[in-house]
Structure 1
Amino acid sequence: MSVDNEPYVQVHALHAGRLTLPERFFVHPASESARRTVPSLSFLIQHVNSVNKTTRIVFDLGLRHPSTNYPIPIQRHLETRHPMATEPNVVQSLAVGELSTDDIDYVVYSHVHWDHIGEPKAFDKSTFVVGPGTSALLKDSSSLRGGHSFFEPDLLPVSRTIELPPTTGATEQESSTGKSAQNGVTPDFSQSWVPHGFLPRTIDIFQDGSVLIVDAPGHLPGHINILARTGPGKYTYLAGDACHDRRIMRWEREIGEWHDESGHICCIHADKKQAEKTIALISRLESEGVEVILAHDVEWEEKSENQARFFGTS
């Protein structure tokens, strides 16, 4: 799709379950009893290339259905996240728009926390894409604390998974956007990270400026976002768990911290200071007119005009 030789993509939200967050774990200040039920959003991105081939990407898979398919440690953690709903899930949401998992070329995970991984076994023909360091995290997460920090070592299908290259040294390179003879024909996840504007590390997967994977460090090793051009001069930024609450984006709240049973200070972000830097970049994007959608963006979801943004509703 293009106007004035500027390729763009379609981005639709997908219902992928709901969960309830105790606010004190996410924002400060917050009362001990404050809780908020939020969506776990997924997104369908559709790109049409120069030979009219459509590539379909799903960004995150939301909650797993049924939740009893999660490992026991995660099931125990889920007891703290009720009320919770695992339907409609991503598979059902795609079906509303007459797509099946067989139609999805790539599943891109923002990160591998339980409320984003869904059921990868349902996407048995898709290639999975994860941020750098994800495979190491799945093997060993002993440095992380909290009940949410349990990961399945065999989560990803080895033969169908692409782990993006390390980000080391990426900011020293110049962007090559638009220079490839294969622009827009097929996605290339093997490229090095390069700057895009004030974003220090991005990968322009179609090399036509329509879909950029953005390194978004702080929340979890391998955390990535997507910047998509959705029309002439229009952009949507899918922020994953870079931020959990828009009050933080508006500087009305700070990132929450708490003490665990051993007295250690915990944070929902693995690196709070780095998360704050990432949030500052995202806030700058939003101030420049980019639409920002968080994975648990209940404020975005509740706006009536966004109901038509869900796949299959229009």
Structure 2
Amino acid sequence: MSAIVSQKQSDHAAAAVVTVHALSCGHFSLPEYQFVHPVSRDARRTVPSLAFLIQHYNQSTKKRTRLVFDLGLRRDIKRYAPPIQKHVETRQPMSTDPDVTKSLAGGGLVPEDIDYVIYSHVHWDHIGEPRDFPTSNFVVGHGSLALLDGTSSSLRGGHSFFESDLLPEERTIELSEPWANVLTKHDSCRGTGDINFSGSWQTYGNLPQTLDVFNDSSLLIVNAPGHLPGHINLLARTSPDHQIYMGGDACHDRRLLTGEKTIGEWNDVHGQVCCIHADRKQAEATIDRIRGLEKEGVEIIFAHDVEWENDPKNKTRFFGAEQSVDG
């Protein structure tokens, strides 16, 4: 049993949990040399764009809260901004069926049932179609709004174009700067179940900055720097002895976790060295922390985790695969 799980069990007589279901949100093709090294220049891999439905039930108030982590590929790629459409040409073949709304419908939910959409980050293959969620609040990591506004430092690569009108201002929450107010001990016993996107970031096991979403340790937002400003992950407890880490784009290939490969770099048409991660050193540190979680028994799932998707035992872990949700 992991040290983190053991720590939390000792803190809680009856540990609060959430349910987690995968949502299929399209597939596309990646040139492997832009993600791992060494690899053939011509090697390509078709990967999923996964999202996740997380449901929390407060035993005291009887309130159910539904969150979706990422929205995957946009159903109509012609609705992407022109620079993204040009980039999408390099990611063919691509399929956007099912998209996130169709995957939710497979389990009996509509977008209006979703209280919050949490973005791991605002790259094109994770943002989906926010207008499909007219009543949801959107949550993004610190620095994401500067990217959308075009006020952040420039990033190289066609994938790093951002839509200034992506999110509804009145329904968008940007998390606080993770390093500004970190507490040294995780306050794990409040147990209110109230939603929390504005509290203090706290250490948790080997994770230096986490935010306790429901104040009961059932779901943590994890600062996961390196890939893009505002990049965040989720750590969910689904039973007293099992946790799932949703790693977004912290890692694009499981061979980086095993050490078989290192992060890829390439030269663009101007001769500039490019990396899929905005800060490679921070990305490597984030991957190292995730590697530590996996060694402790935490289940790791990345946004483009083709190995996880192709594992037959995970087929029933997609929303609606067995039965629709209750309530």
| TM-score normalised per structure 2 | 0.93
SS of 1:16's equivalent in the other structure is: strand
Aligned 1:95-114 pairs, distance under 5 A = 95-114=105-124
| Alpha-carbon separation, structure 2, partners of 1:168 and 1:225 | 16
| Alpha-carbon separation, structure 2, partners of 1:102 and 1:172 | 35
Cα shift at 1:174: 2.8
Q: Name structure 2 gaps, 5 residues minimum.
A: 1-8, 323-327
Aligned 1:184-195 pairs, distance under 5 A = 184=193, 186-195=194-203
SS of 1:150's equivalent in the other structure is: coil
Look up the match of 1:245: 253
Report whether the alignment pairs 1:310 with 2:322: no
Q: Could you say what the CA RMSD is over the residues aligned between the two structures, in angstroms?
A: 1.3
Residues 170, 201 of structure 1: 8 Å contact kept: no
Question: Which residue identity is paired with 1:232?
Answer: P
Look up the match of 2:187: 176
Question: Which residue identity is paired with 1:32?
Answer: R
> Which range moves more in the overlay, 165-174 or 83-92?
165-174
Look up the match of 1:88: 98
| Alpha-carbon separation, structure 1, partners of 2:162 and 2:146 | 11
Q: How many residues align?
A: 310
Residues 309, 315 of structure 2: 8 Å contact kept: yes
Cα shift at 1:258: 0.3
| Alpha-carbon separation, structure 1, partners of 2:52 and 2:25 | 9
| TM-score normalised per structure 1 | 0.96
Look up the match of 2:3: none
SS of 1:121's equivalent in the other structure is: helix
SS of 1:77's equivalent in the other structure is: helix
Look up the match of 2:5: none
| Alpha-carbon separation, structure 1, partners of 2:178 and 2:76 | 36
Report whether the alignment pairs 1:199 with 2:207: yes
**Residues 39-93 of structure 1: CA deviation (Å, up to 9, x unaligned):** 0000000000022211000000000011111111100000000010011000000
Cα shift at 1:251: 0.4
When residues 290 and 257 of structure 1 are mapped into structure 2, their CA distance, relative to the original with a 3 A threshold, is same
Provide runs of 4+ in structure 1 moved above 3 Å. 169-173
Q: Which of 5, 14, 26 is the equivalent residue of 1:17? A: 26
Question: Which residue identity is paired with 1:270?
Answer: A
Look up the match of 2:218: 210
Look up the match of 2:241: 233
Cα shift at 1:272: 0.4
Cα shift at 1:301: 0.5
Report whether the alignment pairs 1:297 with 2:305: yes
Question: Which residue identity is paired with 1:87?
Answer: D
Q: Name structure 1 gaps, 5 residues minimum.
A: none
Report whether the alignment pairs 1:163 with 2:171: no
Look up the match of 1:52: 62
| Alpha-carbon separation, structure 2, partners of 1:81 and 1:245 | 16
| Alpha-carbon separation, structure 2, partners of 1:134 and 1:54 | 28
Cα shift at 1:169: 3.5
SS of 2:230's equivalent in the other structure is: coil
Look up the match of 2:229: 221
Look up the match of 2:130: 120
Question: Which residue identity is paired with 1:149?
Answer: S
Question: Which residue identity is paired with 2:99?
Answer: N
| Alpha-carbon separation, structure 2, partners of 1:251 and 1:99 | 40
| Alpha-carbon separation, structure 2, partners of 1:225 and 1:34 | 28
| Alpha-carbon separation, structure 2, partners of 1:74 and 1:303 | 31
Report whether the alignment pairs 1:132 with 2:142: yes
| Alpha-carbon separation, structure 1, partners of 2:183 and 2:74 | 39
Question: Which residue identity is paired with 1:214?
Answer: V
Look up the match of 2:51: 42
